């Protein structure tokens, strides 16, 4: 097992990519503490289904937008486990709309969750990692933050911001033996992409060299690589998992 006795925090673990990350890290022996914001039922279901496989997984209702909630969550974890080894910032939302029609609320919901949320969670745990002289941060951005996608100015800005944030932080904390990397998925089959209209999928599909959407597990396996010693000399990088779409 590649992550035996490691403690991992995953934000947004109840569904989609986050859920696959929780499962993958736990299967490699990590104690995984995941967060969510609404879905109590799904959180309990995940704890119970993975618990039956003797995997160590617990869910916590923590809104990443709220610094105080995140800080209290961190204190709770440190009291119980004494240390944290891996942080995966995965929680994210979309509120797609053309800029001309986008409300200030749709802008700030996305920025507050996807970018300020990453600041809130990373600030809390980075200090712990620096004190430990050891830690590993993996941020789930998006191809949208690299190439820009129309009707996603809010989302592209948040995900591009996350990449810049990660590179700056990677330089800041490398001396403390803390790594920071980014995974940038393209189109992945989850609840988030289930809202895409048939016409839009027909438009996008020919642009994906591998000619299909990816799976949450395909993103999780790259996160696993970044979470293990196999990637010990990699920091400040953005790894695309996009079927070649962004080439």
Positions in the binding site for ligand NDP (CB under 6 A): 11-18, 35-39, 42, 63-65, 90-93, 113, 117, 140, 142, 185, 187-188, 190-193
Shortest CB 160 distance to ligand NDP, Å: 12
Closest to ligand NDP by CB, 5 or 191 = 191
Closest to ligand NDP by CB, 39 or 134 = 39
Cα separation of 228 and 27, whole Å? 13
Cα dihedral value 191, 41, 120, 222, nearest 10: -50
Cα dihedral value 52, 55, 60, 62, nearest 10: -130
Closest to ligand NDP by CB, 27 or 96 = 96
Closest to ligand NDP by CB, 116 or 177 = 116
Shortest CB 16 distance to ligand NDP, Å: 2
Which candidate in 81, 155, 200, 233 is catalytic?
A: 155
Quick check: helix, strand or coil at residue 186? Answer: coil
Shortest CB 171 distance to ligand NDP, Å: 23
Cα dihedral value 143, 144, 147, 149, nearest 10: 140
Give the residue from 65, 149, 164 showing the smallest Cα distance to 105. 65
Q: Is 155 a catalytic residue?
A: yes
Q: Annotated catalytic sites, by residue?
A: 155
């Amino acid at each position: 097992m590649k992550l035996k006795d490691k403690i991992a925090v995953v934000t947004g673990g109840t569904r989609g990519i986050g859920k696959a990350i929780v499962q993958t890290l736990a299967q490699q022996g990590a104690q995984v503490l995941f967060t969510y914001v609404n879905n109590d039922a799904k959180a309990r279901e995940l704890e119970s289904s993975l618990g039956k496989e003797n995997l160590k997984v617990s869910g916590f209702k923590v809104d990443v937008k709220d610094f105080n909630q995140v800080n209290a969550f961190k204190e709770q974890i440190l009291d119980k486990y004494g240390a944290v080894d891996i942080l995966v910032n995965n929680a994210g939302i979309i509120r797609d709309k053309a800029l001309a029609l986008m409300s200030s609320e749709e802008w700030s919901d996305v920025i507050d969750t996807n970018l300020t949320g990453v600041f809130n969670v990373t600030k809390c745990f980075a200090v712990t990692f620096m004190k430990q002289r050891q830690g590993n941060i993996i941020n789930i951005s998006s191809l949208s933050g690299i190439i820009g996608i129309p009707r996603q100015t809010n989302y592209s800005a948040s995900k591009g911001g996350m990449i810049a944030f990660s590179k700056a932080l990677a330089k800041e904390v490398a001396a403390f033996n803390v790594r920071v990397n980014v995974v940038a998925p393209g189109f992945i089959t989850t609840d988030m992409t289930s809202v895409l209209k048939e016409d839009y999928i027909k438009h996008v599909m020919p642009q994906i060299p591998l000619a299909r959407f990816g799976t949450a597990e395909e993103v999780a396996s790259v996160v696993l690589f970044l979470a293990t010693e196999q990637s010990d000399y990699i920091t400040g990088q953005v790894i695309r998992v996009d079927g070649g779409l962004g080439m």
